[in-house]
Amino acid sequence: MRRPHDGARTAGAVPYLFLAPALALFTLFMAVPVVYTAYLSLRRTKVSGLGLGKGSRREVYAGFDNYTAALRDTELWAGWLRVLGYGLLVLAVMLGLALLFALLLDSAHVRLARFSRIAVFLPYAVPGVAASLIWGFLYLPSLSPIRQVLDVDLLGTGAVVFSMANVAVWGGVGFNMLVLYTALRAVPRSYYEAARMDGASELQVALRIKIPILLPALILTTVFSIIATVQVFTEPTTLRPLTNTISSTWSPLMKVYRDAFVTGDLYSAAATSIVIAAISLVLSFGFLRLVRDRAFGGEG
């Protein structure tokens, strides 16, 4: 005879059955690679003799030597400085434009709103490599119509950071705009109507009502953008064959790629990857803590 609580147990297990595929994929493609990378970061290759005979190279425990070497690597920190300047530029322009477009599309007087949303979002649908190649050909001095108008070498030392930032902004504005616009559409329209009845202009409605309401969505998009910017790899790697101003270690992830697949030092690359992940977490949570302290006075 079936007991009454058996049905409750079955019903309670249903959510876990739905979550099982996602958990399995997360474990297989996220958790396991992270654990394996952490394992590799604690190993190194020990060479005996000339390193030519069988068994002359073997993997041994290295402790935190790889981490020490990564933290002392001047190339890595030079890459971080470049990414910091690149990230500040990208975040300011990309999120500023995303907010502007979201506010404009949410305006009561906007025309062709559906077409405009698609036009702003469409670049996000273009893969990063394809976008970098498209802009790369536009940057080439022999092909660039921009070069003929501005008379500026867009792949030169002084402009290459702005050229890479342009690619990231072009592809990222649409996604962030959509997040902010969706948050705005969830706000009751009566808020805006009441403000307009009190004599508020569209600019005042945007500054005093819409932007404060958008604060949680802005924080979310900023955190995602920080993580994506720290991991910049596609733009400099794709543009590098077109210019001599981008080194093989321009960004931290490019250095990881060089160490792992060019010089063959998987253990050093693994340790550097863990360091990059840790710095990304510190930057993301540091931003969240800063925003929380300023918005809520450090409560909670």
Q: Are 154 and 139 in contact (CB under 8 A)?
A: yes
What is the secondary structure of 138-180 as a DSSP string? HHSTTT-HHHHHH---TTSTTTHHHHHHHHHHHHHHHHHHHHH
Domain count, the chain: 1
Query: What pLDDT does 18 receive?
Result: 87
Task: List the chain pLDDT tens, one digit each, 300 residues.
Answer: 455 555 556 667 778 888 899 999 999 999 999 999 999 999 988 766 555 556 666 778 888 999 999 999 999 999 999 999 999 999 999 999 999 999 998 886 777 778 888 899 999 999 999 999 999 989 988 887 887 787 788 898 889 999 999 999 999 999 999 999 999 988 888 888 888 888 888 888 888 888 999 999 999 999 999 999 999 999 999 999 999 999 999 999 999 999 999 998 999 999 999 999 999 999 988 988 888 776 655 554
Domain-located, residue 48 = no
Question: Under the phi-then-psi rule, with left for phi > 0, alpha for psi from -120 to 50, and beta for the rest, what region is 32?
Answer: alpha
Query: What pLDDT does 282 receive?
Result: 92
Domain-located, residue 6 = no
Query: What pLDDT does 153 receive?
Result: 87
Domain-located, residue 130 = yes
Query: What pLDDT does 300 receive?
Result: 45
Domain-located, residue 137 = yes
**pTM for this structure?**
0.85
Report the candidate in 85, 93, 225 with the shortest Cα–Cα distance to residue 158. 85
Residue 231: which CATH number?
Answer: 1.10.3720.10
Domain-located, residue 74 = yes
Query: What pLDDT does 239 receive?
Result: 94
Q: Which domain holds residue 175?
A: 66-296
The residues, any chain, with a CB within 8 Å of residue 103's CB and separated by 6 or more, are 184, 206, 210, 211
Domain-located, residue 217 = yes
What Å distances lie between residue 224 and 88, 126, 228, 268, CA to CA? 14, 19, 6, 27
Domain-located, residue 7 = no
Domain-located, residue 218 = yes
